[in-house]
Amino acid sequence: MSNTMNFLKRIFLVDILKGLAVTFRYTFKSVYTEQYPKEKPKLAERYKGAPRLNNDPETGETLCIACDLCAQICPEDLIVVGSQRDPESRKKVLTHYTFDTSRCLFCGLCQEVCPTNAIELTQDFELATYSRSSMLWDRERLEKGWDRIEFGKNYHK
């Protein structure tokens, strides 16, 4: 019985027709391809990318209180926080802040330890540059985002 069934199956090309049906179904499935430079991929919610130093949205001043916690927790020692004590208010004031993206492993410990949410790893992942020196981000770049400074505009949006 099964032999005759197999014979009939082979005669009427059942398996080939099944295969054709599968490929026909797939023709109308929505595609997986991402048109990357044209449309940005959807990243995971907690994706950790380019660092940013946040400003207070109301006053426009930096949120960083120069506590140096990020620099201390960083496993790669790539954050350098420069501060000065204001002689009048006796408060620490941020003078400079560098972040070396060439060594960063995007562990996110800095943003976790930050008491004021000043340093934050954003969803921006386009970090490639033409020189090693431009991988060292200074405070201006960290505050404004790097491509705005390099190209004058956010060119790929």
Do 141 and 132 form a contact (C-beta atoms < 8 A)?
no
Residue from 2, 3, 4, 27 that binds other proteins (CB under 8 A)?
A: 27
> Is 19 near other proteins (CB under 8 A)?
yes
Residue for token digits 């491509």?
A: 147
CA distance 65 to 129: 30
Bridge partners for 145 per DSSP: none
CA distance 118 to 37: 30
Structure tokens at 135: 């991988």
> What phi, psi does 11 have (nearest 5°)?
-65, -45
> Whole-number minimum distance, CB 130 to other proteins, in Å?
24
3-state secondary structure of 21: helix
> Is 35 near other proteins (CB under 8 A)?
yes
Stretch that binds other proteins, among 23-31, 53-61, 120-128, 148-156 (CB under 8 A): 23-31
> Is 24 near other proteins (CB under 8 A)?
yes
77-88 burial, b at 16+ Cβ within 10 Å, e below that, comes to: ebbebebeeeee
> Is 75 near other proteins (CB under 8 A)?
no
> Whole-number minimum distance, CB 40 to other proteins, in Å?
16
Stretch that binds other proteins, among 32-40, 76-84, 91-99, 129-137 (CB under 8 A): 32-40
Stretch that binds other proteins, among 26-34, 83-91, 107-115, 131-139 (CB under 8 A): 26-34
Residue from 1, 2, 31, 130 that binds other proteins (CB under 8 A)?
A: 31
Residues that bind other proteins (CB under 8 A): 16, 19-20, 22-24, 26-33, 35
